[in-house]
A = this chain, B = another copy of it.
Amino acid sequence: MTLKSLGRYVPILQWGRSYDKQAFSSDLLAAVIVTIMLIPQSLAYALLAGLPPEAGLYASIAPIILYAIFGTSRALAVGPVAVVSLMTAAAIGSIAEQGTMGYGVAALTLAGLSGVILLVLGLLKLGFLANFLSHPVISGFITASAFLIAASQLKHILGIGGGGDTLPEILLSLGENLGQTNLITLTLGGGATAFLFWVRKGLKPLLRSLGLGPRVADMATKAGPVAAVVATTLAVWGLGLDGQGVKIVGAVPQGLPPLTLPSFSPDLVGLLILPAFLISIIGFVESISVAQTLAAKKRQRINPDQELIGLGAANIGAAFTGGYPVTGGFARSVVNFDAGAETAAAGIFTAVGLAVAALALTPLIYFLPIATLSATIIVAVLSLVDFSILKRSWIYSKEDFIAVVATILFTLGMGVETGVSAGVILSVGLHLYRTSQPHVAEVGLVPGTQHFRNITRHTVLTDPTIVTIRIDESLYFANARFLEDYVYDRLAGNGEIRHVILQCSAINEIDFSALESLETINQLLDEMGVKLHLSEVKGPVMDGLQKTHFLEALTGQVFLSQYDAWHSLAPTQDSSLTVPVQADAPPGHG
């Protein structure tokens, strides 16, 4: 393997050679900013996943470095993200108790499986599987997941116990335990939430109006969570609030990420393989969307299959260093990009910063209240909620609207795995349904032209012995029977018809099922004494048909244009003008 071909699979070998001082200083600055943002976020997402806080830090160190080596995006920041953390909690919660050894090992195993799946998809170039998730399904899923996440954190804000993987379960559990609310925790948690919302919405305009530059104002806004962490930690420590029932992070091991081993026992793998697959696909979709957007802004390119390999390596790294499933996060990547990161080296510097934090800073967060972490989660995820997708999809396409609504309802009502599966199945099903009943027009000649238009919309010439059908869709198994039905229905009880012409101008493909349907139609029409003709068949479709015996068996002809077909088949004396029922139909449709 030459260095160049090796570079295809290890992109760092390509950009690393031209790395210079200017890129170094840009990357270093970006890394400092991202590190400050990531410390509270990593701890919080570990909490969301049901893991000890250090797991969040560990999941941000080795994975970032591995992605920097194998990934193709220059600005993507890999680590724990909200939705994947929630999916991790849902996947593991049903098979192990939080806080047990088994729970941690299951998280490592989930990361390991997810890594292997991503790697295999990348090596086999199966990245297209992510296309099964339509935009409406992704939007609905993210919005519903954000709701679930926010709801799941309310118990920490209230200082009560509880659980649940679905919205009804979570709300029921909250209702049952509401009486035990710890008012001090609520004050801290509620205060932190309100503060963080204000930082997000009100701080930047305020700082700008005080005369600060846009960059400084932006940085101050990013530091909001750190300020909340420092303030509430000091409050708990200074006032001894942990003695009054405020739950705190407590002792966090001080050190670099440990070497850990996931378990690959068949039982555990069997239970986790499907969740791992869903996490991989969802994570990949989130990651690739961000990576693609950021790369395109600089006319750079990313390679989706290599991205799978990069994310796979990152997850395998997480599995062996005490982490849990990771992916490229939206917020952190945008911050990294905006802060000026030029290469993946920024990620490596961020990893170094987080390693320093894991080594030196963990004693400082002993008194950090859990409620503060929940506040940062709630504020972060609620920015993901976007109900506008409901209105926009309703206006544009009812099928897409149904897919959004179903994804939201299933995710809220039955959990993340059922939600995303239902969304995928439904959107694939609706797509097949839509294309299984394509728009079909019977067309006639517009007098004085060579154009053929829908007989129900235009005043056109038709002939009682000729039926011309234009199908506005490729022919494949889902609509093969539809075409048969349509043709037989059109002929049923009508003995005058002698020619059926299929105008194929909108047909990009004819699959084997459709070919067999055409053969059947041809044969049955022959028995009725009716000839089947084709017109305006596209080149690649014709290439395919020429490999078969269909064209030999065809009772009629293949015409280059519909006008040629009409010209040679119509006994002009019988032709008559068909006036559309709906004479005021808009032109240009058909």
Give me the interface of A with B, judged by CB distance under 8 Å.
128, 130-136, 288, 292-293, 295-297, 299-301, 304, 392-393, 395-397, 399-400, 427-428, 431-439, 472-474, 476-482, 484-485, 488-489, 491-495, 506, 508-509, 511-513, 515-517, 520, 524, 527-528, 538-540, 542-544, 547-548, 588-590
Check A135 against B513 for contact (C-beta < 8 Å): yes
CA distance A495 to B298 in the complex (A): 11
Query: Which of B132, B297, B489, B543 contacts A301 (CB under 8 A)?
Result: B489
Query: Which of B296, B392, B472 contacts A488 (CB under 8 A)?
Result: B296
Query: With a CB–CB cut-off of 8 A, which chain B residues contact A476?
Result: 134, 431
Query: With a CB–CB cut-off of 8 A, which chain B residues contact A480?
Result: 131, 135
A397 touching B131 in the complex, CB below 8 Å, given contacts A428-B428, A508-B506, A524-B293: no
Check B472 against A508 for contact (C-beta < 8 Å): yes
Check B428 against A134 for contact (C-beta < 8 Å): no
Check A431 against B299 for contact (C-beta < 8 Å): no
Query: With a CB–CB cut-off of 8 A, which chain B residues contact A540?
Result: 439, 472, 589
CA distance A399 to B133 in the complex (A): 22
Subset of 9 A-B contacts with CB under 8 Å: A128-B433, A131-B479, A134-B476, A134-B511, A296-B528, A301-B489, A431-B478, A472-B538, A543-B589
The 8 closest A-B pairs by CB, nearest first: A134-B477, A400-B512, A539-B589, A135-B513, A301-B492, A131-B478, A134-B513, A296-B524
The copy count of this chain in the complex is: 2
Check B477 against A135 for contact (C-beta < 8 Å): yes
Of the listed residues A393, A477, A528, the one surrounded by the most CB atoms of chain B closer than 10 A to its CB is A477
Query: With a CB–CB cut-off of 8 A, which chain B residues contact A134?
Result: 476-477, 511-513
Query: With a CB–CB cut-off of 8 A, which chain B residues contact A427?
Result: 477
Query: With a CB–CB cut-off of 8 A, which chain B residues contact A509?
Result: 434-435, 473
Query: With a CB–CB cut-off of 8 A, which chain B residues contact A428?
Result: 428, 432
Query: With a CB–CB cut-off of 8 A, which chain B residues contact A400?
Result: 511-513
Check A494 against B434 for contact (C-beta < 8 Å): no
Query: With a CB–CB cut-off of 8 A, which chain B residues contact A547?
Result: 395-396
- The smallest beta-carbon distance between A303 and chain B, in angstroms, is 9
Nearest to A550 among chain B residues (CB) is B396
Check A131 against B512 for contact (C-beta < 8 Å): no
Query: Which of B299, B393, B436 contacts A492 (CB under 8 A)?
Result: B299
CA distance A427 to B511 in the complex (A): 11
A135-B513, A474-B474 given; 17 more Cβ-contact pairs under 8 Å: A131-B436, A131-B482, A132-B477, A134-B512, A299-B491, A301-B488, A301-B492, A392-B548, A396-B515, A396-B544, A397-B511, A397-B544, A428-B428, A428-B432, A472-B508, A473-B474, A539-B590
- The smallest beta-carbon distance between A548 and chain B, in angstroms, is 6
- The smallest beta-carbon distance between A129 and chain B, in angstroms, is 9
Check B293 against A527 for contact (C-beta < 8 Å): no
- The smallest beta-carbon distance between A239 and chain B, in angstroms, is 50
CA distance A588 to B476 in the complex (A): 23
Query: Which of B296, B393, B520, B542 contacts A293 (CB under 8 A)?
Result: B520
- The smallest beta-carbon distance between A11 and chain B, in angstroms, is 14
Check A292 against B548 for contact (C-beta < 8 Å): no
- The smallest beta-carbon distance between A439 and chain B, in angstroms, is 7
A128 touching B436 in the complex, CB below 8 Å, given contacts A396-B547, A524-B293: yes
